[in-house]
A and B are shown apart, each in its own frame.
Chain A
Amino acid sequence: MTNVSLGRYVPYNSFIHRMDARNKIFCLIALMVAVFISYPTYEITFIVGGAFAVFVFALLMISHVSVKDIFKSLRVLWFFIIVLLIINIFIPPRDASNVAFAMGSVNVYWEAIFQSLKIILRLVLMIELTMILTATTKPLDLTYGLEWYLTPLKLIKFPAHEVAMTISIALRFIPTLLDETDRIMKAQSSRGVDFKHGKISSRLKAIVSLIIPLFISAFQRSEELADSMEARGYDPKAKRTRYHILRFSLNDLFTFLLVGAIMSGTIILSHYEFNLQTQSFIPWYCLILICIFIYVIIVGIIDATRRKA
């Protein structure tokens, strides 16, 4: 529980770490839009999805997120994967016509399997993209980035700074609260509470014995943190200077354009009806792959040069 990877900042000086937090937020949203775009055929969905998977994996490597952490972050998905498979198998898509195999009286369609895989791929990519953002951006920088985007809403009295600060503190306290959960679980287990075995009703009772002390502790922590912040002169309404100043560099411009190109490329792609048999698809696919590889190589070279320096 103590080494949960999702939402944890990984200190390193990579190219992505040095990017402007505002640009990283834009890139995350743009790439998520690109990932969630629907394509006319399953072939193109999986080819683009696969290319995205390679791209995201390369970004994770550049960010120095360990492979172990990547797998750990995906552990939460198991439950969704099973539920999705069950739903899609028993309620297949309307256009389902190709039977893959039969389970007793129930036919399992290829379309249902593809539909599940498509959603799983999207979820995995979404989690990993978020992981890149949180692993390479300090919570405080993230706050500044979010606040920058929310600034126009200040005109309608939206508490932009307060919202951004709340998110930043929530991110900062994820590991602390996970440690606390672990401690309470151990304490309750030592008193005979079994979280892993038994009927659902008894396991629910066990979870209640975890949640109540956890909530009490979280409220106490938040009160003490508020006292500490106030005592250190924090006033959300008052003017503050900033230790971290966000700077939009040339690297940021480059990635901004590249991500913009990827997003618009996927939007264009979603309007063309081609599949693997369509001749015109091959150059497009090659172009996407070449772009990704060029990007990864350039970033790798920049990173290596900076590290040497």
Chain B
Amino acid sequence: MKLIEVNNLVFSYDKKINVVDGVSFSVESGKYISIIGHNGSGKSTIAKLLIGLLEANKDSIKAFDMELNAKNLRAIRQRVGIVFQNPDNQFVGSTVRDDIAFGLENRQIPHDQMDDIINKFAAKVNMLDFLDKEPENLSGGQKQRVAIAGILAMNPDVIIFDEATSMLDPKGKREVRESIELMRKENPNLSIISITHDLEEAFSSDEVIVLQKGKIVADDNPENILEKPGIFVESGVDLPFKNKFLNLLSQAGIEIKNDESLERIVEELCR
């Protein structure tokens, strides 16, 4: 079932250069889509257009059988959540508890139900012990998990991660990735759109969209995308180290399976 349909999406900040230029794709229920591309390729702009923070051209975005316009904006936002890049700039409440409650207040959830919802979703992202902590006392990864809990508590059908792990240290990245994996396991119908620079993260998704200068240059599953390394060179995206290494080995006449771990590849080479 298609939840979001994007058709010939065009957007320009200055009405001269199109930052997003004729982009079309669809988001199906339960799908995990990654959008990759170099800086300025229009990835984050697409995220903002999908949530209605920027105004898209007419009839270009249809979500849940509704046109994305001022009239339907509220209804669509109730079903689409977004986690932004900077964990500090999306923490509205003075404590974790208050921050998760912020979205619930906007959704007019009755007061007596809020505590249960807050506890349930804080537990899902392993933040139950931090409910009364202030943002200054949390790490970047923890703040991002709070943002995820805040979005999950609003029970969305689609979550957009706009470079949500790019400002985090390796531990924070791992924590957020684990939370995403757990989310998908618990709710197989939840659709995820991940805008990322991290190709390892992108290749764990169901579909990868490669953007270049606002245009889609590739839209396929990760395995097929990886078979065309030229796409990455053209679009200025760096291949993951393992794939780069395997390509070099292949050029030297050494063929090793791509699904091996890095340690196994090293072992194979030593042999």
A residues neighboring B (CB under 8 Å): 2, 9, 11, 138-140, 169, 171-172, 175-176, 179, 220-221, 224-225, 227-235, 238-245
Q: Is B161 an interface residue (CB 8 A)?
A: no
Q: Is B251 an interface residue (CB 8 A)?
A: no
B105: A residues at CB distance < 8 A: 240-243
Q: Is B172 an interface residue (CB 8 A)?
A: no
| CB <8 Å contact, B92 and A169 | yes
12 A-B pairs with C-beta separation under 8 A: A9-B94, A172-B91, A224-B89, A225-B92, A227-B48, A229-B102, A232-B154, A233-B78, A239-B108, A240-B105, A241-B104, A241-B114
Chain B, 86-141, CB within 8 A of any chain A CB: 86, 88-95, 97-98, 101-111, 114, 132, 134-136
Q: Is B174 an interface residue (CB 8 A)?
A: no
B37: A residues at CB distance < 8 A: none
| CB <8 Å contact, A235 and B106 | yes
| CB <8 Å contact, B95 and A11 | yes
| CB <8 Å contact, B95 and A176 | no
Q: A241-B104, A242-B105 are in contact. List 8 more A-B contacts (CB 8 A).
A: A9-B134, A138-B95, A172-B91, A221-B88, A228-B92, A233-B74, A233-B107, A243-B101
A172: B residues at CB distance < 8 A: 91-94, 135
How far, in angstroms, from A282 to B37 measured CA to CA in the complex? Answer: 80
B94: A residues at CB distance < 8 A: 9, 138-140, 171-172
Chain B, 9-50, CB within 8 A of any chain A CB: 48
How far, in angstroms, from A268 to B113 measured CA to CA in the complex? Answer: 49
Q: Is B84 an interface residue (CB 8 A)?
A: yes
Q: Is B82 an interface residue (CB 8 A)?
A: yes
| CB <8 Å contact, B134 and A232 | no
How far, in angstroms, from A176 to B90 measured CA to CA in the complex? Answer: 12
Mark each residue of chain B from 68 to 87: 1 if its CB lies under 8 Å from any CB of chain A, else 0.
00000010011001101010
Q: Is B182 an interface residue (CB 8 A)?
A: no
| CB <8 Å contact, A140 and B134 | no
| In-complex Cβ contact of A245 among B82, B93, B104, B111 (8 A) | B111
Most buried by A among B89, B110, B150: B89
B98: A residues at CB distance < 8 A: 138, 140, 243-244
Q: Is B56 an interface residue (CB 8 A)?
A: no
| In-complex Cβ contact of A229 among B78, B88, B92, B154 (8 A) | B92
B148: A residues at CB distance < 8 A: none
| CB <8 Å contact, B106 and A224 | no
| CB <8 Å contact, A224 and B101 | no
| CB <8 Å contact, B90 and A241 | no
Nearest to B53 among chain A residues (CB) is A227
| CB <8 Å contact, A233 and B89 | no
| In-complex Cβ contact of B106 among A138, A171, A225, A233 (8 A) | A233
B53: A residues at CB distance < 8 A: 227, 230-231
* CB-CB under 8 A for A232 and B108, given A172-B92, A227-B48: no
How far, in angstroms, from A171 to B97 measured CA to CA in the complex? Answer: 17
Q: Is B51 an interface residue (CB 8 A)?
A: yes
Kindly provide the distance from the CB of B99 to the nearest chain A CB, expressed in whole angstroms.
10
| In-complex Cβ contact of B103 among A9, A221, A233, A239 (8 A) | A233
| CB <8 Å contact, A243 and B74 | no
B110: A residues at CB distance < 8 A: 241
* CB-CB under 8 A for A241 and B89, given A230-B53, A233-B77: no
A230: B residues at CB distance < 8 A: 53
